[in-house]
């Protein structure tokens, strides 16, 4: 996946062309799959990263706001999973990819305690590679918006 | 002469309490690419590229930024949208 060509290209017709090879698609598949699983399983290591408080000063977080967040994360992640093998994404699908990749990146960081530059620099190589891959995907997809 | 609290006083205090705006705060993290934060601010709030970039830089340099202020219900909605997009955000009432 990590060639020099662009990974996502916004075409004239408005669609986003996905230029990932099999390895790139497998990274995306893994990330999206974890987000969907974490939303459904409170024991999943990414689950806490998906459910932060809205008002930290209030122990009883707003249940409607929490429900809305969970529904929206699930909807984005499920749409992203459904379009995993597409060559072209429409705007809503591309946004679902961006949101889900970012949720995956943030959840990875929280689950592994990567909450400072120092921690990130000292994490193991495999984890750092996964984080850097998600960052590159996000960086390139953000160029399409 | 000692002045007693009236119903009007109480009502006025409650009104002031509810009128203080709620801030939507976005917090820094070491992994999110800067350009992603800008895109999310533009998409959710409809901000210009300049304003979104300015807010992103505030988050980056100061650790947090108030990205929107107003009624509590709308603040919660924006906060949820930011969280759904993978940014760390909270709401707080202005002091």
Nearest chain A alpha carbon to B85: A99
Mutate to test the interface with A, among B84, B91, B94, B95 (most CBs of A within 10 A): B84
Give contacts of B39 with chain A, Cβ < 8 Å: 98, 142, 145
| CA diameter of chain A | 49
Give contacts of A114 with chain B, Cβ < 8 Å: 30-31
Residue A32 has pLDDT above 90, yes or no: yes
CA dist., res. A42 & res. B25, Å (int): 26
CATH pick for B33-95 out of 3.30.390.30, 3.40.190.10, 3.10.20.90, 3.30.1390.10: 3.30.1390.10
CB B67 within 8 A of CB B41: yes
Q: What is the value of pTM for the model shown? A: 0.88
Residue A59 has pLDDT above 70, yes or no: no
Residue A58 has pLDDT above 80, yes or no: no
Domain ranges of chain A: 16-50+63-142
Place of tokens 């990749």: A101
Q: Does A67 touch chain B (CB under 8 A)?
A: no
- CA-based nearest residue to A109, from B87, B52, B30: B30
Residue A5 confidence (pLDDT)? 83
Nearest chain B alpha carbon to A112: B31
CB contact under 8 A, B29 and A106: yes
The predicted-structure confidence for B11-63, as pLDDT tens digits, reads as follows: 555 555 568 999 999 999 989 999 999 999 999 999 999 999 999 999 999 99
Under the banding of pLDDT at 50, 70 and 90, the label for residue A80 is: very high
Q: Cβ atoms within 10 A of the Cβ of B84, count?
A: 25
CB B39 within 8 A of CB B28: no
CB contact under 8 A, B36 and A102: yes
Residue A68 confidence (pLDDT)? 81
Q: Which residues of B touch A (CB under 8 A)?
A: 29-33, 35-36, 38-40, 42-43, 76-77, 79-81, 83-88, 90-92
Two tokens, residue B94? 């202005």
Nearest chain B alpha carbon to A128: B31
CA dist., res. A138 & res. A94, Å (int): 11
CA dist., res. B86 & res. A75, Å (int): 14
Give contacts of A145 with chain B, Cβ < 8 Å: 39, 42-43
ipTM: 0.89
Place of tokens 């986003």: A16
Mean of pLDDT over chain A: 90
The predicted-structure confidence for A98-129, as pLDDT tens digits, reads as follows: 999 999 999 999 999 998 888 888 899 999 99
Under the banding of pLDDT at 50, 70 and 90, the label for residue A4 is: low
CB contact under 8 A, A65 and B80: yes
């Amino acid at each position: 996946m990590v060639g020099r060509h662009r990974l996502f290209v916004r075409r004239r017709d408005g669609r986003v062309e996905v230029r990932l090879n099999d390895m790139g698609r497998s990274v995306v598949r893994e990330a999206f799959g974890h987000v969907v699983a974490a939303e459904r399983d409170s024991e999943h290591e990414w689950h806490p990263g998906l459910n932060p408080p809205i008002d930290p000063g209030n122990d009883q977080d707003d249940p409607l706001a929490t429900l809305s967040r969970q529904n929206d994360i699930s909807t984005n992640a499920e749409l992203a999973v459904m379009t995993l093998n597409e060559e072209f994404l429409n705007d809503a699908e591309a946004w679902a990819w961006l949101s889900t990749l970012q949720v995956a990146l943030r959840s990875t960081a929280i689950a592994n305690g990567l909450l400072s530059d120092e921690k990130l620099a000292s994490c193991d190589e495999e984890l750092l590679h996964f984080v850097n891959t998600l960052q590159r995907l996000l960086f390139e997809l953000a160029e399409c918006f | 002469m000692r002045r007693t609290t009236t119903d009007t006083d109480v009502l006025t205090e409650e009104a002031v309490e509810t009128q203080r705006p709620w801030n939507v705060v976005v917090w820094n993290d070491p992994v999110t690419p800067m350009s992603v934060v800008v895109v999310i601010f533009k998409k959710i709030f409809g901000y210009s590229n300049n304003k979104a970039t300015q807010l992103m830089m505030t988050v980056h340099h100061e650790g947090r930024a108030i990205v929107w202020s107003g009624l509590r219900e709308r603040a919660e909605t924006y906060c949820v949208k930011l969280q759904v997009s993978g940014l760390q955000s909270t709401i707080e009432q202005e002091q």
